[in-house]
Structure 1
Amino acid sequence: MSLKPAVSVILTGSGSTRCSGRVEVYHNNSWGTVCDDGWDLNDAEVVCRQLNCGSALEAPRSAHFGAGTGQIWLDHVTCSGNESSLTECQHSGFGSNTCERGQDAAVICSDVIRLAGSGSTRCSGRVEIFHNNIWGTVSDYNWNFNDAEVVCRQLKCGTALENPQFGHFGEATGQIWLSAVTCSGNESSLTECRHSGWGNNYYGHYYDVGVICSGMIRLAGSTRCSGRVEVHHNNSWGTVCDDGWDLNDAEVVCRELNCGSALKVPTSAHFRAGTGKIWLDHVTCSGNESSLTECQHSGFGSNTCERGQDAAVICSDLIRLAGSGSTRCSGRVEIFHNNIWGTISDYNWNLNDAEVVCRQLKCGSALENPQFFHFGWGNNYYGHYYDVGVICSGDKL
């Protein structure tokens, strides 16, 4: 019976760290490099997971960490991103390549931080820290929006939209590493923030914290909820062409950024022209997608645009309609303040108040001003029995 050769992966090279560097594979009793033909974030994600280095932030090519020596073991690596080992991915065969020295693939991983738990994505989930060779969680004592902002920046996931607590993404098991985290919001890593010390925690996993980041989309040139639409793809930010850009497309952007509803869809670089790549063109959304990249488009980087045709959105920002049975123009009224969404109590709430909400959301006139949590409670305690809602004529048009 033949024994399967030992295969391992390390990161090395000039300027490398435990979780960033040139990718090298051990095969046939020697270390060799990986060619960067087709090398992308899915491939890097597998390497980062295999090395317990969190998520992939970048997939540098062209010997970013210096050229390796010896055999070029892998070429044309194609991973789905879910494999447990790089050698499980499709490739052209060990030692079979069309590469030259200087085309070495590399990775930059998030290192000591990752997002996990039920319902998690690359940019939302339970915050976990790698310390002393063990992954552990963060307790919610003092956890706020500034702390979440640092996590999102560290993971190259845009800006923080929410800072959920109380095991929102499920309770972990094992170690709780950090508690009483206090960030200014400008730190480059969560471990640079003040905290109570590693492992100094007296609470259970019920208090595990999470983050929801804006991910691969942002608004530039104006405010948090209005501006030029920019998309992150292939390690760089680029713009969206305004060919066919409409309210359905803008609605998806506003929802993805937790910015309420779309009010306007400015075109022709209303918030100034962007720079870099034009990533998307001919975007066509139904309006129900959870992410702009789920909508139909002509393909990343495929466009017939010129600079100055940048798409933009103006979202309702501080107000949204939510709750059971809600639509774009009917639901529980919620206001964004101090980085938190909250409700309105029904004391004195009348049709005039509802009229203002409907106008602000460009939903026509107020038809009803329901009270007593008509669209469900905003939270699970008694005061929310009095949450108000609106039903606007926009739903009847």
Structure 2
Amino acid sequence: MFFLSCQADLGNSTSDEASSVRLVDGSSSCSGRVQVLHNGIWGTVCYNGWDLLDANVVCSELGCGEAKEVKLAEYFGKSSGQIWMDNVNCSGNESALSKCEYHELELNDCNHSEDAGVICHLSITIIFLFFIPWLVEGFDDCSGRVEVLHNGKWGTVCDYKWDGSDGAVVCKEMGCGNIKVLTYGAYFGATSGQIWMGNVNCNGEEASLSTCAIQGWGTHNCFFAEHAGVICGLPVRLVNGNSFCSGRVEVLHDGQWGTVSDDGWNLTDAAVVCRELGCGDVITAKGGAYFGQGSGPVWMNSVDCVGKESSLIQCNIAHWQHNNLDHLHDAGVICSGEIFFDISTGYWWKNF
């Protein structure tokens, strides 16, 4: 297929079109799905080739500092209308996204499940004017070492007496669903510096970790590398395998777990699952209900991942729930990692 790279000025600004780019459906004006103005109509940007260099140009253009991270697919929700730009390729020095190279509209093959997004550093600054926990060095945005901002300084949470009620409040406050696993020690890496919270005692109903009872700010019973962490509920899980990192693939949709059909299921699709779960590389993709037949709906059919997705639910599929499929064709995966959980101690460990 032949592509033409352009450097056109999208949305030649008039007095009532002061900016040709904006971020929508984020937590602030400095995070969200990228939209550009062209011919008086707002449209999105396809995530093919979308990276930090491209995102940096957007953040700079909007006065939002540097890009913290790029977001792909439907992270900020699915849009509608035009898709104006595809295969954006910025050097990082452009003054506006419209100055970057990109593919012409007529040549893009995207849909709105592939809308590009960005979170700029300034959006984080704005959010953290209020107390909020942050998860660091995890598998994704919903796992990691718990850190909190207090008096303008980041610090950790002591893992002494860290329990499910405490973790549940963090997951809920972060918008990450239910608590799945508590972690202790240096599971998500050790860090020096301030330990802000100790003897955290939530009842699980609090809206914020900041409202839970604590020993006192900066008062704790912990030493170096005794950090509280969480892994919050993910929309994907592996069932009936030898460990957390192998099994039948199940996805959460409309509040119900269901399976994935092995129609078209391949190593590229399976690799996305392994990466999403923090389970290393894919060893093999399994079909034919290798890990046993599931129950409930078959949610995903003809999965087609490109391999760069951060979650299986961002991959293209034929449609959600195929009523003509049975569980004889449930897909599975074996990843290179092995993650184990000792329910009696709450400790996790993994082998790669």
Instruction: Give the TM-score band, short-chain normalised.
Output: 0.3 to 0.5
The TM-score, its normalising length taken from structure 1, stands at 0.43
Report which structure shows greater RCO (CA 8 Å, sep ≥6): 2
Larger Rg: 1
TM-score (norm 2): 0.48
